[in-house]
Chain A
């Protein structure tokens, strides 16, 4: 029996209020399984960037939800997204994180696939009889893949919203991060730091648009020294925005001096992508109490080195398992995961600035984007989405 007890749609409606959510949503394994089924294995998810497979033959392996995938650029130059799974007996056809190859060979029976997914060789093919058809035994494509300005997204659902519909207002975040470059292009080729954290994935997702925490959580980092006094206050003039669809941002463009923390926007694209000014973060769910946080610095094509260097130095200092920012976030989320084992009080509170929700925009420290996250989450975890 689940902690939630009743796994019906109406039970989830009760657990997700307008200014509070049940702590059980972070601790109940049944909730996590429902999230995989209804969110990570259905919704559009960021999987990688075209620049990671810049030339034909390059590949990277990732997880999309809990499922292993293989992002390739085939010999015609097209970006392709596959299940990393041999269609014969199910072994992964690629064991490396990244590389360059024309062929993927399964270790079990040497079925061999080209980087366009076609089965091009197998030992003893004649033994399968005259009706064996290579064309129906190629790598399985992820049901839907689409890109926006080089950002590659995949979905395990054969139908549903288009990527454009899914991104909605959040396309603006991608536009703004790309348009820092004079040619409108970013590159992600520095590799990823992959940080395993003992906390539920939603804590990282919510944290993106929580500007209430940085001066406290990150007070030790030394990086706050470059931030003007009062930067993390409502009075400084930044706004936090619910972009709809679970997406959100904190926007400091209209403040004096603009953003001090980086060149691009600071926003979240539901359910797994954080555009962090000068970096890209990805949130991988692992279990109800574990996530992996992936982080890589952005290179802007054509941007002068002197503008990029401070950003890459900041990344090196701040992020990854041994940074001076990331471990404090991780420690906080791990403390939340422990604390939420206490079933009383039932609720996790999200009240700050609730009076502005009807406008879609609140003060810098308001929890408006977090409430937007939960509103969309609720629509997916209940049957609201089915009738849209």
Chain B
């Protein structure tokens, strides 16, 4: 890959991450869901970064159906913890792209492993919390666009007592 191609790829990946952050902060959840492939996994481990999600508790381990339930709940008008909804601002930084994943391709498409950092400012009545973590994405190209296959958020304090997380990280 030439230097120019690398720059373009970096730009393309960053634009996806920035768009995802913006869609969350603007509560455009249907558009957020459209960034994902059907078999996507959104994972926020607890009690460390390298736990087994099938035998150890996680803060979030969502397949697409659960992601859908989660955001439906945010906008469904019944959730007490969304009255009023928490306001968030995501700051995305430190975006680096690993060369094609060791498993090469997914379904014949280009697969990228992207590392980034995120700081999420959360505000709700009487509460102001900053959430900070590293994020690992697996991205795949579908119909000419990058889509999210896997998103793992490694909160810096995931082994501590945490207040409610009723928003997307």
Residues of A within 8 A of B (CB): 97, 189-198, 217, 219-222, 292, 295-297, 315-317, 320-322, 324, 326-328, 330-332, 335, 338
Contact = CB atoms under 8 A, between A and B. Distances in A.
Main secondary structure of the interface of A (DSSP, over half): mixed
A196 B129 CA distance: 13
30 contacts: A97-B47, A97-B159, A191-B57, A193-B57, A195-B161, A196-B162, A196-B163, A197-B164, A198-B127, A198-B163, A220-B73, A220-B80, A221-B73, A222-B73, A292-B161, A295-B57, A296-B57, A315-B57, A316-B57, A316-B61, A320-B46, A320-B59, A321-B59, A321-B163, A321-B164, A327-B81, A327-B164, A327-B165, A331-B164, A335-B80
A190 B57 contact: yes
Interface string B53-89: 0011111110000100110110010111111000000
Nearest to B75: A220
A328 B159 contact: no
Nearest to A189: B55
Contacts of B47: 97, 191-192
A292 B162 CA distance: 9
> Which of A217, A295, A316, A326 has the most chain B CB atoms closer than 10 A to its own CB?
A316
Contacts of A335: 80
B3 interface: no
Contact of A220 (B57, B79, B161, B165): B79
A297 B56 CA distance: 9
B166 interface: yes
B51 to A, nearest CB: 7
B44 interface: yes
Contacts of A295: 57
B2 interface: no
Contacts of B55: 189-190
Contacts of A292: 161
Interface residues of B, number: 33
A331 B81 contact: yes
B99 interface: no
Interface string B123-165: 0001100000000000000000000000000000001111111
Nearest to B77: A220
B159 A222 contact: no
B132 to A, nearest CB: 15
Given A193-B59, A222-B73, A317 B78 contact: no
Q: A-B pairs with the 8 shortest C-beta distances? A: A220-B78, A220-B79, A331-B81, A322-B165, A327-B81, A194-B161, A196-B161, A219-B78
Contacts of A316: 57-58, 61
A222 B56 CA distance: 23
Contact of B126 (A191, A221, A338): A338
A221 B70 CA distance: 8
Nearest to B168: A322
Given A97-B47, A196-B163, A327-B166, A191 B70 contact: no
Contacts of A338: 126
Contacts of B61: 316
B76 to A, nearest CB: 5
A201 to B, nearest CB: 14
